[in-house]
A and B are shown apart, each in its own frame.
Chain A
Amino acid sequence: MRSLGWFAVFAAAVVLPLALAWAVRGELWSNPTLAFGAACGWLAFALLAAEFGLVTRVRAAAAAFGSDALLLFHRAMAFAALALLAAHIVALAPGLPNPLASSALERWGALALWSLAALIALSLWRRQLRCAYELWLVSHRVLAAVVVLASFAHVWPLVTRDTLLRGPIVAGYTALALGALAWQRLVRPAWLARRAWEVVENRDEGASTRTLVVRAVGHAGLRFAPGQFVWLRTERRGLFAQEHPISIASSAQLDGGRTLELSIKALGDWSRELVPRMAPGERVRIDGPFGSFTPDGQPAERLVLVAGGIGITPMRSILLTMRDRGDRRPVTLFYAANRRARAVFASELEALRAELAFELVFVFEDPEPAQACERGLLSAEVLRRHLPQDLRFTQFFVCGPAPMMDAMERIAAQLGLPSRQLHTERFDMV
C-alpha cells in the first residue's frame, strides 16, 4: 500500500502540468495533432523533473520499492520521456531539431532533446564506450541539469504571462529538480561530513575483493537491517569525490552499528585502484542505510538466499546477524560462482554451518573435478534438489549480476513462487 501511495504521488506530479494546461481558458491548439504534440511536451517536461525525485534517496520511497527498483524505473522513465519528446517534435515540427537554430524555442528544445539522448546513450553503452563509472556519474549529473534547464528555457516564454498557475508550476518543477540535485551533491555531503567514519582495516579477502572495516568517529554510527546497503564516499578528489553503493557485509549486531564491514570487488577503476590503497585512519563518508532487501519484518519460517559473485555480501550480513541473534530458522544459501577460488568468504560460510541451521550449496560453473558442489548454472532443478516441496512459508532473497537475477525471476516462476516471497537486489546496473 505504501508503494501505491508513492506511485500515486509520482503519477500526479507528472500529470499536473498537463491538467493545468487543459484547465487554461482558451487553450491554444485547435488542431488535434498539435494538441497531442503539446500534451506530449508537457508530460515529458514534468516527467523529466520528476525523474530527479526517483534518485534523491528518499528513504521511505526506497523502503517501499527497493533502491534497485527505483533505479530501474528511473531508467525506464528516461526512455518514456525521450519517446514523449520524439512525439512532441513529430507532431509540432517534424524534422531533426537543431541546437543551433535561430529560433530560441527550437534551440532550447533541441538542446534538451539531444542532451537527454546523450545521457541515455552513455548510460546504456558506458562499458562499450570505455567510459569510467566516475566520469559517467559526473556527465550524467551535468547532462541531467542541462536537460532540465534547457526544457525550462524552452517552455518558460510560453507560460510566463499565463493568468493561471502554469508559470509558477514550470518554475517550481525546475527548482525542485535542480534543488534535488543540489541536495544530493552539496547539502547532504556537507551534513555527512559532520558524521565522519574512518577506515580501521583494509583486508584482502581474495577473489579480487577487499573488505574495508570502518568505524564511526564521534557519533553513534548507524542502525541497519541485515541486507541493506550504504553509499560510500571517499574523501579524495574534492567535488568529484566518488560515491558508490556498497552492501554492508557485517552483522547488524556488531558494535551497536559503530563498526561496519564493506566488501568491495574490483570491478572498475575506483575499486581496482583506489580501494586497495585506502589506509587505516583515512576518512570516508557513509550515507545510509538504504534498501528493502532484508528478512527483518518478513514472516518467514525458512530463508533461501541466492547469491552470485559479490552479491554474497548482503547474504553474509544476513547470516552473521542470524548467528548473533540466535536465530535458528532453517536457511539455505545457493552461492553461484565460477569456481571455489572465486567464491569470496567460502571458508567462513562453511564454518557457519556449525552455528546456524544452515545448508550451503555452492553452484560452480567451472569447478575442480573433486569439488563437492552443483555444477553449471543455477536452475529450478538445482533449487528443487535442496529445498522442501512446500515453500509457502519460505522467503527468497536473491542478489547478483543482472543475468543471474533475470534467470532467478524465471526460476521463481517455474517453482510457482509468488512475487511477495521473492526479494531481489540488483547491482552493477550501469
Chain B
Amino acid sequence: MHARNVRLTAAGFTLALFALAGAAAWRVDSRKTAAASSQSPDPSPAPRELDGRALYEQHCASCHALDEFATTYQGPGSGVAVLELLEFLVDHGGATTDEDRAIARFLAAP
C-alpha cells in the first residue's frame, strides 16, 4: 500500500473521529434546543431523564447552597471539576449513579 494512500486514509480517519466528537456536541446541543422548545405548562422531566434539580434538593440542598457551585462547575474549563464532582457524588450519599449524574448535570448547566 502506498505511503500516500496510508497518509490519506489516516487523515480521513482522523477527520472522521473529530466529526464524531463534533456529532456528540451537536447531539447535546440539539437535545437542549428540543427540550427548550417543547416546554409545556407542566415542565415535568422527559420520561427517561432524571430531574437533577429535584434530586439536588432532595440529597444536597440541606447542607450546600446552589451558589457554592456556580463558579466551579459552570462555564469553560470546568470539565475536570465536574468529573471530580461526579466522583465525589458517587462516593458519598445515598443516590444512585444515575441520580448522581443528573445532579452533576444540573449543577454544571449554565
Contact = CB atoms under 8 A, between A and B. Distances in A.
B25 A84 contact: no
Given A32-B29, A405-B3, A84 B21 contact: yes
B54 interface: no
A105 B83 contact: yes
A29 B17 contact: no
B28 A29 contact: yes
Interface string A57-82: 00000000110010011001101100
A369 interface: no
B105 A26 contact: yes
22 contacts: A15-B20, A18-B21, A18-B24, A22-B27, A26-B48, A26-B50, A28-B104, A28-B108, A29-B28, A29-B108, A30-B105, A30-B109, A32-B25, A34-B79, A35-B28, A37-B79, A39-B23, A69-B3, A69-B6, A73-B6, A83-B14, A94-B77
A36 B50 CA distance: 22
Main DSSP-derived SS at the B contact region: helix
Contacts of A30: 28, 32, 105, 108-109
Interface stretch (A219-227, A229-237, A419-427): A419-427
Contacts of A65: 1
Main DSSP-derived SS at the A contact region: helix
A103 B80 contact: yes
A40 B21 contact: yes
A83 B79 CA distance: 18
Interface stretch (A85-93, A322-330, A338-346): A85-93
A31 B90 contact: no
Interface in B60-84: 76-84
A83 B104 CA distance: 28
Contacts of A80: 10, 13-14, 17
Nearest to A426: B3
A364 to B, nearest CB: 25
A39 B25 contact: yes
Interface of B: 1-7, 9-11, 13-14, 17-18, 20-29, 32, 48-50, 76-84, 86-87, 90, 97-98, 101-102, 104-105, 108-110
A93 B79 contact: yes
A28 B21 contact: no
For chain A, the bracket of interface size reads 35 or more
A105 B20 CA distance: 24
A257 to B, nearest CB: 27
A162 interface: yes
A31 to B, nearest CB: 7
A69 B11 CA distance: 14
Contacts of A37: 79
A409 interface: yes
A93 B27 CA distance: 21
Contacts of B27: 22, 35
A96 to B, nearest CB: 13
A65 B110 CA distance: 49
Nearest to B28: A35
A31 B97 CA distance: 20
A87 B21 contact: yes
B90 A14 contact: no
Given A18-B20, A28-B108, A30-B28, 16 more contacts: A25-B98, A28-B105, A33-B25, A35-B24, A35-B25, A35-B27, A40-B18, A47-B17, A69-B5, A77-B14, A80-B13, A92-B79, A95-B77, A157-B87, A158-B83, A419-B2
